[in-house]
Amino acid sequence: MIFPKVIRLRRRALVAVLVVMGGIFLAGVAALLHTPAAVSSSASGGEAPVELPILMYHHVLKYGQQLGAYTITPTEFEKDLQYIQSHGYTTIDTDDLIGYVYHGKSLPEKPIMITFDDGYYSNYFYAYPLLKKYNMKAVISIIGKYTDLYSERGDLHVNYSHLNWDQLLSMENTGTADIQNHTYDLHTTDQGRKGCKKNWGEGAEEYKAMLRADVGKLSDRIREMLGKEATFFAYPFGFYCEETDEVLKEMGFLGTFSSEEGINYLTREPDQLFHLKRNNRPHDLTSEDFFEKVEKHRKKDSKSA
């Protein structure tokens, strides 16, 4: 028989144990609530976002009336490469971004991306030798119509010609250039359409069929002539609409380049590869002034990352 006094002692012991356990639990909760850095680190996998400035170039010429917002001199381009080198940056391409986001690979400590839009012959004549000289690489987004045209004509004039398939293959094979898609024949505003944006009153399905046909035509040509898949797309003039990305993703594109200026802050989220910000490089600006302009986006863009 168990006497009442013994029962009361056992109850007191049980209450004491529960009080101690409760105190330990509350202390643990309080510790977690007062260590936001640890919680944040756990939630993000322990990785801080990667800062990626992307530079946007077009044409390179020694002199002439074309020098301006989208055309710079070879000397200006070389000074930019020297700035990149002296400030510890490493150039990357789209394969590096895909490896980072999709395959768990690392990026260099200070990555930077050089891009050229339109695919001018001057990229091969002036920029390509300089990229090789400084052991750097660039992404070149071509307009398929002009690549086919100048491949057929064999016209090589640095002022106006576009790259042909042989030149693109040569640059791609050295690892210096990463060739991507800038539409086959939508780099225009002369036909009533603004780049690859949907026209006013155009049906969604009609627009999607048009975009698939045009972009798909260039992707087919890149596959045929260069033996690679185009995985990134540069919006002509920066124009796009709600359906544009839907079509591009359906076609297998993994990222896009915009014309919005700023700095990108990347984690391993796939959607962050769409609408990558770029900084247009104009003529008549020192490299120091240009990169200072790029740096000004850091505070604003890091807050929205």
Mean pLDDT of 139-160: 97
pLDDT tens-digit map of 98-145: 999 999 999 999 999 999 999 999 999 999 999 999 999 999 999 999
The reported pLDDT for the residue numbered 40 is 29
**What pLDDT does residue 190 have?**
76
Q: Which residues contact 236 (CB under 8 A, 6 or more apart)?
A: 143, 182, 183, 186, 187, 188, 195, 196
Report pLDDT for 161: 98
Cα separation, 228 vs 219, in Å, equals: 9
Q: Evaluate if residue 155 carries a pLDDT over 80.
A: yes
Per-residue pLDDT at 170 exceeds 90: yes
Kindly state the average pLDDT of the residues 68-82.
98
C-alpha torsion sign, points 283, 289, 294, 297: negative
Higher pLDDT pick, 253 / 193? 253
CB 57 within 8 A of CB 281: yes
Run of H or E residues at 115: strand 111-118
Q: Give the mean pLDDT of 69-73.
A: 98
pLDDT digits (tens, 9 = 90+) for 13-63: 433 433 334 443 333 333 333 332 322 232 345 789 999 999 999 999 999
Asked if residue 166 has pLDDT above 90, the reply is yes
pLDDT of residue 45: 58
Percent of the chain with pLDDT over 90: 79
First to last CA, the chain: 70
CA pair distance 184, 207, nearest whole angstrom: 15
Assess whether pLDDT exceeds 50 at residue 244: yes
Tokens of 13: 């012991």
Q: What is the mean pLDDT of residues 160-168?
A: 98
Weakest mean pLDDT among 29-38, 76-85, 114-123, 235-244: 29-38
Handedness of CA 96, 101, 106, 109 (dihedral sign): positive
Q: What is the pLDDT of residue 59?
A: 98
Least confident of 26-35, 60-69, 209-218: 26-35
Length of the chain counted residue by residue: 305
Residue 18: what pLDDT?
Answer: 37
pLDDT of 189: 85
**Range of weakest confidence among 19-23, 220-224, 282-286:** 19-23
